[in-house]
Amino acid sequence: MKIAFTSQGTTPDAPMDPRFGRTAFLLVYDEESGQYEHCDNRQVEGVAHGAAVQTARRLFEMGAQVLVTGNGPGGNAASVLQRSGVQTFIGAGGMTVERAYAAWKSGKLQRFE
């Protein structure tokens, strides 16, 4: 399973970014290999509209099946994520990526539907 996190940095000890569309980075943990890979999403800073759609495209390119984030995606992003089959979990905004992974693994995060 590949799990994507919205994060403020590129390492597992980085704080989560509570935003989806305008997250600074996407950090993807591959449970099989135990490796993290990241994608720099900061170019959405200059995007006036549709940032979440752009972020969703990067997420799909990274091949994650699960998304862990903070506040929960807005309208456009929510419909894209639902239709794409990516399972979204929210409420990890105040954690580090590692802690968010542990919280998700132990079923403590809320499913966003």
Tell me how far apart the alpha carbons of residues 46 and 63 are, in angstroms, rounded to a whole number.
25
The stretch near another protein (CB under 8 A) out of 6-14, 31-39, 49-57, 105-113 is 49-57
Q: Which of 36, 33, 22, 21 is nearest to 100 (CA)?
A: 36
Work out whether 54 is an interface residue with another protein (CB under 8 A).
Answer: yes
Work out whether 60 is an interface residue with another protein (CB under 8 A).
Answer: yes
The stretch near another protein (CB under 8 A) out of 7-15, 50-58, 66-74, 95-103 is 50-58
Residue found under tokens 């980075």: 25
Work out whether 94 is an interface residue with another protein (CB under 8 A).
Answer: no
Q: Shortest approach of another protein to residue 60 CB, angstroms?
A: 7
**40: which DSSP letter?**
E
Q: Report in angstroms the alpha-carbon separations of 18 from 32, 34, 92.
A: 26, 24, 7
Interface contacts to another protein, rule CB under 8 A: 47, 49-51, 53-54, 56-57, 60, 76, 79-80, 83-85
